[in-house]
Amino acid sequence: MKSFHLIYLLILATAIAACGDPSENNAVSPDAAPELVGNEQVQGRGANKDNWWDALPRPEWSAFEKVEQSEDWFEVYRVDDDIYAIYEPGQFEEVISFLIIGEDFALMFDTGLGIGNIRIVVDQLTDLDVVVLNSHTHYDHIGGNHLFDTIYGTDLEYTRRRALGSLPEAVADFLQEGWVWKPFPQGFSKSAYRSRAFTISKIVGEGDQIDIGGRVLEILHTPGHAPDSICLIDRENRILFTGDSFYLAPLYTHIPGGSFADYASTAARLSGLAGSIDRGTDIAQRSGR
């Protein structure tokens, strides 16, 4: 059998998920951040994560065309024809959302942290209607959902509960020292930050196909990291979007809702796809995280 690590040579829609005061709108800069020992900055995320920003910029991005846009919180890269990676390097998750543009409409695979306004970025990339589908509903993948009118989601209690949003205290730790190095966007309030509620427009699940016009994306249910984790496979173009179901770094199943047993099954399933997938972008996902 081909090694499961071959799956890395695919398009990876990843982030390692866990998931104030309005006057405190600037994070600690890398130069000013203290040198801490004992991994006190980023708890529960493995060793050697303190001052993670020292590894930026990730050199793997140099392989792709950087696309100019107006929102400083984000970086945008064209990773394939009509596929854009929308990257948030300012916060520890280094979350990447993907905009996949079809002939009829575009699909947004995740909407990031909700710190910057990802809708503004998307509107600069396409004039088409946009459907949102989350790789899973951890806070760093659903942050911009409320900015979009059409959202597809799984028919799971976990998804329904996450769609209700959160209180600020549930996500406040993810904005603290050690988690963010980049200045927050103008007008952003740390004290008001939360996962905002959103409405699921259409239920989708295992085996469903989404035809966006000229490209068909099939949903694979891949639990383990989260109960509602999914991947998208474009069989014709031999591309797999994995969400947090796979990346070259420690894979989290110890967080609430995670399951090592489910992830073992998911890993075996994705490994079996290696012969069907041959196009990739070699995007680095947090280099060893």
Looking at domain 4-276, which CATH architecture does it have? Answer: 4-Layer Sandwich (3.60)
Nearest to 89 by CA among 25, 149, 140: 140
- pTM of the predicted model, to two decimals? 0.85
pLDDT at 14: 37
Q: Which amino acid is at 217?
A: L
pLDDT at 45: 76
pLDDT at 279: 60
Q: Which amino acid is at 249?
A: A
Number of H helices, E strands in the chain: 4, 12
pLDDT at 248: 74
pLDDT at 278: 74
pLDDT at 35: 46
Helix (H) or strand (E) holding 120: helix 118-125
pLDDT at 177: 87
pLDDT by residue for the chain (289 residues), tens only, comes to 223 333 343 343 333 333 333 333 344 444 444 444 445 678 777 677 888 999 999 998 999 999 999 999 999 999 999 999 999 999 999 999 999 999 999 999 999 999 999 999 999 999 999 999 999 999 999 999 999 999 999 999 999 999 999 999 999 999 998 999 999 999 999 999 999 999 999 999 999 999 999 999 999 999 999 999 999 999 999 999 999 998 777 788 888 899 999 999 999 999 999 999 976 434 434 333 3
Residue spans per domain, the chain: 4-276
CA 209 to chain centre: 21
pLDDT at 40: 66
Q: How far apart are CA 29 and CA 20, in angstroms?
A: 17
Question: 192: exposed, middle or buried (C-beta count within 10 Å: 0-12, 13-18, 19+)?
Answer: exposed
